[in-house]
Amino acid sequence: MSNIFSIFEQLASDNSRLAKEAILIKNKNNATLQRVFYLALDPFVQFYIRKIPSYDTKPGNLFSLEEALDNLIVLSDRVATGHSAINHLQFILGSVSKEDAKIIERIIAKDMRCGVSEATVNKIWPKAISTYPVMLASGYDQKLVDKIPFPAYVQLKLDGMRFNAIVKGNTVEFRSRNGKELNIPNPSFAIPFIKMAEHYKADMVFDGELLIADFAGKPVNRQTGNGILSKSIKGTMSETEADNVRATLWDAIPFESFTEGIDREPYNVRLAKLNNAISHVNAQYTQFRHYISSVWNIEVNDIYNAQKIFEKFLSEGQEGTILKSKTGIWEDKRSKEQIKFKGELECELKVVDWEEGTGKNVGRLGALVCESSDGVIRVNVGSGYSDEQRDEYTKKVIGKIVTVKYNARIKDKSGVESLFLPVFIELREDKDQAESSKSIK
């Protein structure tokens, strides 16, 4: 068995984070292992092939794993594209051992199927994996709210999938908030983003939310919409589904600033430029105007009006609002100048185990055992699943991220922290990092 493949088998066999770290520490000097993780997990390395082609293993193993990895640059640098790229990958896969071919397949899929995150890899090999830049809003905190300068913006908090459209020249890459490639099989959807970048006269990154529209053009419910959008990560979204994808945008950053992790232009200037670009493109290319729109936004002069708008949206069934400083810069971190107002508490946790149910749920899911990224919070989430999810969500979702709704953060008599009345909301294929206990209220 391939040495590298056997290491990944060991990593997949134990769900304990500490056990995985111990395996990696033992193999810390394995340069090929580090390189495999880099190619598989670095968000800025893409291979532009969604489906692994069929192949036959040639006798004699023409390539070692290291030589095969060298040959992947033809795909990542787009020296070969389309059918030429598929043929190249097919040749590589057929020229290595069966175990090494599985390693290559997982690299192409950007999923090593072993439950090891970028954060864990970087803990063993510092800065081995680039962290995908993302600016997140802070949870509600009165001390942060008191520091927001007014007038400020209030924006509607959307219930879809966070995404970026990265435009370089005449090409567009759609990415999730953690850098995973989104395959939206509708060529027309990319055109407005290219035209907006032309308006900026620069390579740009557009930031916003993807939603799925119904036949009347209204967003469908969260679970239905995000279920369809998750298919873009798996590469299984149909052309019909792709035609219903809509983008709501709230920010735009030059690509160079995005990769550097900071753009000091004030938010009111960035937003004005973005709205101008959207208006320009939608006016010039009316056939595409249904694909993109600006986020609902209003200027308020005090916290009282911000609170009233939040309460109004909450009464209408919306998720909440975000209060944003007009002078805030864009930075690759959780911003203290953008504050979430939400009616219910939610968090993202990592599935570390599952428990079989009782009664009618014997033989299928009873509860998912979930943890914060630092392991401080651990909770059994036993409600919120459909019958189909109880049949499907067992070992398959270990290592995945889920959204959980809860009423409060609690401690038992021994001091172990958990969540009160946890309810499963959805599986987050677009995320691979749980929240830390520090960000969970």
394 and 312 part of one domain: no
Q: Tally the domains of the chain.
A: 3
Query: For residue 45, how many other CB atoms are within 10 A of its CB?
Result: 18
Residue 302's domain spans which residues?
136-342
Q: Please give the torsion angle defined by the CA atoms of residues 75, 76, 81 and 84, in that order, rounded to the nearest 10 degrees.
A: 0
What percentage of the chain carries pLDDT values higher than 90? 81
107 and 148 part of one domain: no
158 and 50 part of one domain: no
Q: Are 145 and 48 in contact (CB under 8 A)?
A: no
Flag whether 22 is in a domain.
Answer: yes
Positions in the chain whose pLDDT score sits under 70: 1-2
- The domain boundary, picked from 282, 307, 342, lies at 342
Instruction: Please report the pLDDT score of residue 2 as a whole number.
Output: 67
Instruction: Please report the pLDDT score of residue 159 as a whole number.
Output: 87
Q: Is 321 helix (H, G, I), strand (E, B) or coil?
A: strand
List, for residues 299-344, the tens digit of each pLDDT value: 999 999 999 999 999 889 888 999 999 999 999 999 999 999 988 7
Q: Greatest CA separation found in the chain?
A: 73
- Got the DSSP string for 415-430? --EEEES-EEEEE-TT
Please confirm whether the linkage preceding 133 is cis (ω < 30° from 0).
no
Record the tokens describing residue 424, joined without a space.
């499963």
List, for residues 52-86, the tens digit of each pLDDT value: 999 998 887 789 999 999 999 999 998 999 999 99
Flag whether 129 is in a domain.
Answer: no
Distances (CA, A) of 112 to 43, 108, 306: 14, 9, 45
- Pairing mode, if any, of strands 334-342 and 136-138? parallel
Query: For residue 434, how many other CB atoms are within 10 A of its CB?
Result: 27
164 and 118 part of one domain: no
- Helix 267-284 and helix 187-200: axis angle, to 10°? 120
256 and 232 part of one domain: yes
252 and 197 part of one domain: yes
231 and 374 part of one domain: no
Query: For residue 401, how many other CB atoms are within 10 A of its CB?
Result: 23
- Got the DSSP string for 87-149? HHHHHHHHTS-HHHHHHHHHHHHT--SS---HHHHHHHSTT-SPPPP--EEEPP-HHHHHTSP
Flag whether 31 is in a domain.
Answer: yes
308 and 365 part of one domain: no
- The domain boundary, picked from 316, 342, 368, lies at 342
Flag whether 131 is in a domain.
Answer: no
